[in-house]
Chains A and B, each alone.
Chain A
Amino acid sequence: MPVLRSKSHEQIPDKQARFLTGASVAAAGLGLSGCDAFNGVSSSQSSVRRVLEKTNDLTYRVQRLLQGRNALAQEFTEADIRQPQKANGVTNPQDEGLQVAARQQFCRLAAGGDRSGRESRCLSRWRSCRPCPHARRSPGTIALRAGAASPNGPAHRCRLVLDQASRKAARPATLFHCMDTIERGSDRQHALLRHDRSARRTSSRRRSSPGA
């Protein structure tokens, strides 16, 4: 026996669909306007941001108080570390400068405290004690020799060079120049172009941190 369905009964799904579509669009619009409304919070001058930073600081101090200074940054022996250690972040950068440097075994690094180059130090032959054919020798050059894990190894000597340079130059902050590029989108390329025009010197990425 055929089932008779009224016209109004057939229209209900359409109404529901229109209602749901409208509600979805309205919710999306509300969501987007909500994003705009919170843009001001990201400003460093925002009072909300200052409150959140204070709570962050309080959490940090309570953690230190309860767990001690060494609980969150423990030192482990080599035996406790799984080998090989998994690398994070960018692991295979395709930047040409980095690829060329890797082929030359990273012969030349520089630590400087003066844009004129007077305080620059060439940390040549970072990874080997053999003479580096690619290093440019100049007065004041400090050659680092092998011993990656020893107390007098490259990292230790780099610290000495930085200490010496920072004392002499009296610069409170350190700028690290990095050879890799994280973002390769069109926006990033435009940003790099703008940056290169203003900076005179090209660098794929720059990061800074508190003084060394």
Chain B
Amino acid sequence: MNGKALPVENGAPLRVRVERQLGYKQPKYVNKIELIERLLGQNGWGKGGYWEDRGYDWYGGI
């Protein structure tokens, strides 16, 4: 971050950066990225993500 290694408090080892979506769409502490066929219905966690399952908007764009 800003020319230095990403600190743990900012989501090391990897944080997703999506400029046009809100912070909850930019997960921290990512250690694995998997490409999947369907967004919904992943092992019963089916609204598109952790926060989306708790009522947050799926898109979350700005």
Interface, chain A (partner B; CB < 8 A): 42, 44, 56, 60, 72-73, 75, 78, 81, 83, 85, 87-93, 97-98, 101-102, 106, 109-113, 115, 119, 126-127, 148-149, 155, 158, 162, 165-166, 169, 171-180, 182, 194-195, 198-199, 203, 205-212
- Asked whether B50 lies within 8 Å of A209 as measured between CB atoms, the reply is no
Contact check: which of B16, B19, B31 meets A179 at CB < 8 Å?
B31
Alpha-carbon separation in the docked complex, A90 to B27 (Å): 10
In the assembly, what is the distance between CA of A111 and CA of B48, in Å?
Answer: 19
How far is A123 from B4 in the complex, measured between Cα atoms in Å? 18
Q: Could you list 17 examples of A-B contacts with CB < 8 Å?
A: A42-B55, A72-B62, A83-B2, A98-B8, A106-B12, A112-B32, A112-B34, A127-B5, A148-B1, A171-B37, A175-B35, A176-B30, A177-B30, A182-B50, A199-B43, A206-B43, A209-B48
Q: How far is the CA of A109 from the CA of B34 in the complex (A)?
A: 11
Given the interface pairs A60-B61, A81-B2, A93-B29, the reply to whether A173 lies near B35 with Cβ below 8 Å is yes
Residues of A with C-beta under 8 A to B6: 127, 148
B-to-A contact residues, CB < 8 Å = 1-14, 16-21, 23, 25, 27-39, 42-45, 47-51, 55, 57, 61-62
The total number of A-B Cβ pairs within 8 Å is 155
Determine which residue in A89, A92, A115, A158 has the highest number of CB atoms from chain B within 10 A of its CB, and name it. A89
> Quick one: closest A residue to B7, CB to CB?
A87
Give the residue of B3, B8, B49 whose beta carbon is less than 8 angstroms from that of A208: B49
Contact between B49 and A209, CB atoms less than 8 A apart? yes
- Chain A residues whose C-beta falls within 8 Å of the C-beta of B14 in the assembled complex: 106, 109, 126, 158
Q: How long is the Cα–Cα vector from A177 to B8 in the complex, in angstroms?
A: 16
6 pairs of A and B residues whose beta carbons are closest in the complex: A106-B13, A171-B35, A177-B32, A91-B9, A113-B35, A87-B9
User: Are B35 and A166 touching (Cβ within 8 A)?
Assistant: yes
